[in-house]
Amino acid sequence: MRSLLRLPKALCLGLVVCLTHLGTSLADATSSKLNLIFILADDLGWSDTTLYGTTKLYETPNLERLAARGMTFNRAYAASPLCSPTRASILTGMNPARIGITAPNCHLPQVVLKPKAHDSVAPTERATVVESATRLDTRYVTLAERLAAAGYATAHFGKWHLGKEPYSPLEQGFDLDIPHWPGPGPAGSYVAPWKFPAFRERCPGEHIEDRMADEVVAWIESHKDQPFFVNYWQFSVHTPFDAKRELIEKYRPRIDPQSPQRSPTYAAMVQSLDENVGKVQKAVDRLGLASKTAIIFFSDNGGNMYNQLDGTTPTSNAPLRGGKGTVYEGGVHVPAVVVWPGVTAPHSRSDTIIQSTDFYPTILNLLGLPPTENQPVDGKDITPALKGEPFDRGPIFTYFPHNPNVPDRLPPSVTVHRGDWKLIRIFFDAGNGKHRYALYNLREDVGETHNLAGQHPELVRELDALITTFLTDVQAVLPMPNPRYKAP
């Protein structure tokens, strides 16, 4: 399944590159460029890998091997506790509050490019919610478009969830998109038969993640002689929950009924995710590309703790509080590994706070490309952190103007992390049109069990002022007091 690149925007960007390098052939201009592979897991929580010593059930030896090649981040954050907003932030470097995609509804039929206030909430809710945009607007210059203009071959594999045509990967800078599916998860199941409209299994029982990694490897093999950008956004470990039968049975006798992680199906799904990270690594090594290929591994949000699977929740983010769909740490604190030849030291770790918005400016800088003109970027260039140098990227913000019915549910909220401190502003939840606040010292209380807002009112005001400045800067559409609120 191959399609032509949508030309107008990419062509304009390409002309800029050509003018910049006037007199230099494209081959010469790109011969020294590093390749880039961005692997994004779906719903993989911070405690779902063996990178942080938080699981006794799951097996992720290939992620450990990847981490041995580069830097593991202990304090990496998705820009949202749900998938589509984080995906948009990676491709643009902009916070979801600025883009307007703050909910994972980009598979819906209606096209909404700008968020708007939405007051259709229950009278028991003190704050209204915001109606999210449903497509990644093509007016934004994506990372794929920047790299394509610089001479890179580009391809997207796996989940997209930022809109179907004319907002698919093929209109956002990618030459190829497999399986070309706009939905929130794999079509039908992980194990064939699938229900993709134009993508079929090669054999009965084929696993979609095995197939995606095979497609990635085949494409790399055919593009190994030119710079390439692979966007391998795994379907795993999002719903629907199913896995290879033999792997489920492998984990069934290992289940500890006292452990919060006790789903054999989920453990099997994590193993398939990990095996295919390894498959891509092995291909890079076999083709002699390791020294000139950067690999980033990240997750779009925290682990799913609100569905039922095998008589329990799919996973647990303990010791973090909450999970997917909350702005508590379990919803946004995610695993992250960066392998960048000549920059990251093997077996290194960093306590620097980073966010998904940071990849866009960092990648451009490390590949020798200038910032994107006339497009704001909320992310920071974290190159010093990748080099192991002391680095403070400043506060990070998570804007989530929604109230999904999940464990540790919060009304519409926004957070700021600065150093060890995290402040949550819960819009209009204190009554009388005032916000409610929760303040945590994450170094001392990673589980967010002790709200210190009452003990540090000055710090609350200081951090809340940062939130106000941020929301103003990104021109966020904000929740409002619910005009139909009735006190219980």
The CA–CA distances, whole Å, from 208 to 3, 113, 187, 422, 476 equal 21, 31, 10, 38, 37
Q: Please give the CATH topology (third level) of the domain spanning 7-394.
A: Alkaline Phosphatase, subunit A (3.40.720)
Residue 465 confidence (pLDDT): 98
Degrees to nearest 5, angle at CA 83 with 78 and 85: 75
Instruction: Kindly compute the dihedral angle of the four CA atoms of residues 111, 114, 115, 118, in this order, to the nearest 10 degrees.
Output: -70
399-473 has which CATH code?
3.30.1120.10
What is the residue extent of each domain of the chain? 7-394, 399-473
Does the pTM surpass 0.85? The reply is: yes
- pLDDT in single tens digits along all 488 residues of the chain: 333 334 445 444 544 444 334 333 333 344 469 999 999 999 999 999 999 999 999 999 999 999 999 999 999 999 999 999 999 999 999 999 999 999 999 999 999 999 998 878 899 999 999 999 999 999 999 999 999 999 999 999 999 999 999 999 999 999 999 999 999 999 999 999 999 999 999 999 999 999 999 999 999 999 999 999 999 999 999 999 999 999 999 999 999 999 999 999 999 999 999 999 999 999 999 999 999 999 999 999 999 999 999 999 999 999 999 999 999 999 999 999 999 999 999 999 999 999 999 999 999 999 999 999 999 999 999 999 999 999 999 999 999 999 998 888 899 999 999 999 999 999 999 988 999 999 999 999 999 999 999 999 999 999 999 999 999 999 999 999 999 999 88
Residue 348 confidence (pLDDT): 98
Equal fold, 7-394 vs 399-473: no
CA dist 291 and 289 (Å) reads 6
